[in-house]
């Protein structure tokens, strides 16, 4: 007989087996093993009865059934059962599901923040019972999300007939933030202005100040945001006449130093990383998506290199702080502060765990045996952790004001006199050193100029910036940031445009509808309050069943009923338009059923055109019947969606090779296709009309030695390079179909 340790991820098995040794059996649940059943009203899997909620759980698919069967056998052979699921609310809930599904009477709950011998053995030595308050909050979240997602999607979203598939409590509020910014951009009207500057022979530039006062420096939006990288500007001048007048004065009048200010300042180190700031930093520095960042962090955690990566805390264990101080004493004594900076978590953070940090600060990035993305992220975490406990950076800041007639000009300089924490984490702009000048000194003007500019619309959010915004608004929690962004992409509510997230026409359409039908539910403040309510449940200050039944009865049920009524009114008004007559078609008077899909060109509803063609994979195709729009789309059963004909799809230059077509000289392109259930890649002429005529025999097929054509032989390209690029085409096509 032995002890049984139940964990979530199989990636931890080997490390934990090394730590615990003989007498232990370790099994992984592979995450969630049970979920709410899809039965009952609206397939919710639970019933709301007065102040009680009756939930029905079932194994999560065939995998869940197999895992539970294996775990039941392991339980029968164990003396003691320890549950070591992840140390957060979700992990506690998974632990409860394991207890229920395996009929465990008194399991030992153990939690550790890092997979190290000291931490794991200490947790085993001090087990506790499952925390019923955390479990209640986890169950409440599951029911709440399914209630909003299922009811809202079925009774509201699907009836819009616009192609939208779902809504969600966190998902829809996040989409609303993106749509609000997009509407700001669309409504933005640029204004002309002029930025005026002078340059002196003494070696510096100064910018026009209308009131003769220094320009205010605004606080950074986020404590970890780098300084504004934009070029400095003068006070805005809004007319060409005024700009020319100021330049004329600068050219005609003598310039002198009006004032010189210099001061030494310190800037405290940033806090250690938590989930949101890790995703932001990895996105900014490595272009990692939030989802990729969390997968890489999970790998580092399972290997025992970092602490748990889902946290909203910036606090560090005192024992770790002491090891960092000792490291600095030995390796960087000048950076050891007399008193370390104290970092405070945000007001709405759960603050249940430490920040993300290395498990051992003495394992420097150069000494850790990892590579690739793991090495990049570990170095990021290691540097930030040690920087957070270093001495402040010391700066010498200088400001020079000059005067010419009635005009005033300002120059700012900054020089690092002691690097402090920036040795490990540099979030400062480059030094800008000004010359040493005295008040009253006459200056020699080199040039004066007014640059015509336009105000710019607010920028779209990158994924890291969206995560930062979600955190600041209180939408979701660390475990939900990455999945929410991923879902918005998968639903095709947002797309990437130059590394920024842009709502699609479908996303904007859905958000506009929800803003009218369920206005409260998409507001960030409303969603943040719900998160705060879940926190109260987790703290044991609120009964979860009473909270959810009252929320449903007092708000959600009436809100859904109101939305259904509004949609019903709209449907009644448009029922007669679900079939339209088009006299412009060959069979005048023919009626066609409208689909729920919008035309990708003009955004009007497309019609279903019946067809008996054997080439089609469906009994109809879609056609836009709007005047001057001949867009058609065909059903792709593999991708399970309608697609434009190949000739109508935008050209992707990434599919082009460097090799010319042997017939017409145009570049060959890579083309992914499926044959006998296998995905393959071929090379063909990139000009469509030529492929149909003179280049129809140009086809190079992938072989072990490269690409080969029955007519033109082997292409002169190293096979491994071409095969690698060919695989990229297949993978890209897979992602597009998903």
Between helices 89-101 and 132-146, what is the axis angle to 10°? 90
Of the options 1.20.1560.10, 3.90.79.10, 2.40.50.140, 1.10.460.10, the CATH number for the domain spanning 162-187+477-572 = 1.10.460.10
Q: Mind telling me the catalytic residues?
A: 308
Kind of pairing between the strands at 108-109 and 78-83? parallel
- Output the pTM of the full model: 0.72
CATH code for the structural domain at 2-130: 3.40.50.140
Q: CB–CB of 97/34 below 8 Å?
A: yes
If we measure between CA atoms, which residue out of 598, 620, 600, 625 comes closest to residue 160?
598
- Please identify which residue in the block is written with the tokens 């890579």: 670
* Rounded CA separation 459/185 (Å): 8
Question: What string of DSSP letters covers 368-407?
Answer: S---HHHHHHHHHHHHHHHHTTSPPEEEEEEEEEEEETTE
Phi-psi region of 536 (alpha: psi -120 to 50; beta: other; left: phi over 0): alpha
| Residues with Cβ within 8 Å of residue 507, at least 6 apart in sequence | 175, 178, 179, 488, 492, 493, 494
User: If 0-12 CB within 10 Å is exposed, 13-18 middle and 19+ buried, where does residue 410 land?
Assistant: buried
* Rounded CA separation 445/442 (Å): 10
3-state secondary structure of 164: coil
Phi-psi region of 73 (alpha: psi -120 to 50; beta: other; left: phi over 0): alpha
3-state secondary structure of 188: coil
User: If 0-12 CB within 10 Å is exposed, 13-18 middle and 19+ buried, where does residue 41 land?
Assistant: exposed
User: If 0-12 CB within 10 Å is exposed, 13-18 middle and 19+ buried, where does residue 700 land?
Assistant: buried
Of the options 1.10.10.10, 2.70.20.10, 3.40.50.12280, 3.40.50.261, the CATH number for the domain spanning 192-262+395-454 = 2.70.20.10
Token code pair at residue 299: 């790998």
* Rounded CA separation 303/666 (Å): 50
For the segment 162-179, what is each residue's pLDDT rounded down to a tens digit? 888 899 999 999 999 999
| Residues with Cβ within 8 Å of residue 636, at least 6 apart in sequence | 617, 642, 643, 737
Can you point out the beta strands (E) in 519-624?
579-581, 591-598, 605-610, 620-623
For 428-457, letters b (16+ CB in 10 Å) and e give: eeeeeebeebeeeeebebeebebeeeeeee
Between helices 372-387 and 275-286, what is the axis angle to 10°? 120
| Residues with Cβ within 8 Å of residue 522, at least 6 apart in sequence | 172, 173, 175, 176, 511, 514, 515
Q: Where are the domains of the chain?
A: 2-130, 162-187+477-572, 192-262+395-454, 275-387, 579-647, 651-737
* Rounded CA separation 21/150 (Å): 46
State which fold the 275-387 domain adopts: Topoisomerase I; domain 4 (1.10.290)
Q: CB–CB of 684/696 below 8 Å?
A: no
If we measure between CA atoms, which residue out of 363, 355, 372 comes closest to residue 327?
363
* Rounded CA separation 144/68 (Å): 26
Counting as low any pLDDT under 70, the low residues of the chain are 1, 212, 214-231, 345-352, 569-591, 614-615, 646-654, 677, 716-738
**Residue 346 Cα distances to 227, 274, 412, 466, 476, angstroms:** 21, 11, 33, 17, 14
* Rounded CA separation 710/672 (Å): 19
Rg (CA), the chain: 32
3-state secondary structure of 145: helix
């Amino acid at each position: 007989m032995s002890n049984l340790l139940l964990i979530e991820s199989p990636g931890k098995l080997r490390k934990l087996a090394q730590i615990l040794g003989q007498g232990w059996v370790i099994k992984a649940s592979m995450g969630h093993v049970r979920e709410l059943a899809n039965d009952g009203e609206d397939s919710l899997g639970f019933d709301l009865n007065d102040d009680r909620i009756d939930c029905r759980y079932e194994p999560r698919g065939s995998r869940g059934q197999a895992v539970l069967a294996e775990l039941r056998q392991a339980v029968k052979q164990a003396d003691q059962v320890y549950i070591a699921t992840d140390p957060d609310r979700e992990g506690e809930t998974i632990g409860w599901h394991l207890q229920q599904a395996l009929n465990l009477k008194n399991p030992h709950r153990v939690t550790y923040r890092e997979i190290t011998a000291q931490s794991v053995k200490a947790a085993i030595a001090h087990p506790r019972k499952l925390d019923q308050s955390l479990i209640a909050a986890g169950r409440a979240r599951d029911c709440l999300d399914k209630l909003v997602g299922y009811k809202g999607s079925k009774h509201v979203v699907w009836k819009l007939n616009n192609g939208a598939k779902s809504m969600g409590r966190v998902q829809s509020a996040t989409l609303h933030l993106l749509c609000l910014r997009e509407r700001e951009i669309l409504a933005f009207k640029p204004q002309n202005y002029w930025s005026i500057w002078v340059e002196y022979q003494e070696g510096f530039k100064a910018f026009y100040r209308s009131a003769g006062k220094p320009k205010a420096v605004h606080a950074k939006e986020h404590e970890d945001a780098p300084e504004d990288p934009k070029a400095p500007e003068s006070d805005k001048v809004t007319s060409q006449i005024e700009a020319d007048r100021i330049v004329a004065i600068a050219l005609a009048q003598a310039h002198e130093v009006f004032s010189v200010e210099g001061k030494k300042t310190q800037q405290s180190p940033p806090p250690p990383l938590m989930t949101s700031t890790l995703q932001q930093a990895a996105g900014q520095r490595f272009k990692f998506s939030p989802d990729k960042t969390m997968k890489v962090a999970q790998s580092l955690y399972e290997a025992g290199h970092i602490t748990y990566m889902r946290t909203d805390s910036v606090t560090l264990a005192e024992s770790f702080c002491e090891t960092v101080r000792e490291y600095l004493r030995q390796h960087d004594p000048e950076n050891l502060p007399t008193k370390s900076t104290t970092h405070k978590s945000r007001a709405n953070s759960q603050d249940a765990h430490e920040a993300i940090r290395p498990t051992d600060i003495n394992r420097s990035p150069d000494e850790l045996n990892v590579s690739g993305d793991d090495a990049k992220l570990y170095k990021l975490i290691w540097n930030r952790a040690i920087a957070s406990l270093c001495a402040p950076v010391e700066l010498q800041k200088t400001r020079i004001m000059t005067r010419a007639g009635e005009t005033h000009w300002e120059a700012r300089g900054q020089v690092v006199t002691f690097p402090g924490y920036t040795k490990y984490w540099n979030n400062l702009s480059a030094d800008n050193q000004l010359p040493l000048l005295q008040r009253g000194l006459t200056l020699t003007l080199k040039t004066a100029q007014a640059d015509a500019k336009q105000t710019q619309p607010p920028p779209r959010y990158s994924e890291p910036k969206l995560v930062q915004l979600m955190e600041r608004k209180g939408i979701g929690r660390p475990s939900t940031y990455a999945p929410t962004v991923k879902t918005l992409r998968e639903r095709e509510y947002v797309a990437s445009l130059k590394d920024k997230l842009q709502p699609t026409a479908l996303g904007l359409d859905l958000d506009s509808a929800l803003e009218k039908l369920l206005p409260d539910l998409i507001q960030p403040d409303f969603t943040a309050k719900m998160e705060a309510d879940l926190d109260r449940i987790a703290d044991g200050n609120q009964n979860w069943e009473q909270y959810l039944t009252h929320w449903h009865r007092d708000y959600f049920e009436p809100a859904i009923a109101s939305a259904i009524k509004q949609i019903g009114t709209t449907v009644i008004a448009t029922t007669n338009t679900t079939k339209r007559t088009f006299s412009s078609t060959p069979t005048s008077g023919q009626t066609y059923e409208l689909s729920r899909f919008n035309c990708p060109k003009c955004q009007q509803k497309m019609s279903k055109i019946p067809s008996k063609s054997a080439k089609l994979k469906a009994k109809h195709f879609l056609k836009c019947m709007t005047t001057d729009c001949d867009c058609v789309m065909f059903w792709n059963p593999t991708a399970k969606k309608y697609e434009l004909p190949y000739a109508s799809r935008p050209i992707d230059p990434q599919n082009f090779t460097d090799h010319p077509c042997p017939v017409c000289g145009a570049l060959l392109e890579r083309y992914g296709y499926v044959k006998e259930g296998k995905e393959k890649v071929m090379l063909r002429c990139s000009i469509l009309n030529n492929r149909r005529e003179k280049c129809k025999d140009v086809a190079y097929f992938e072989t072990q030695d490269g690409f080969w054509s029955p007519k033109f032989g082997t292409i002169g390209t190293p096979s491994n390079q071409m095969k690698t690029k060919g695989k990229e085409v297949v993978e890209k096509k897979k992602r597009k179909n998903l």
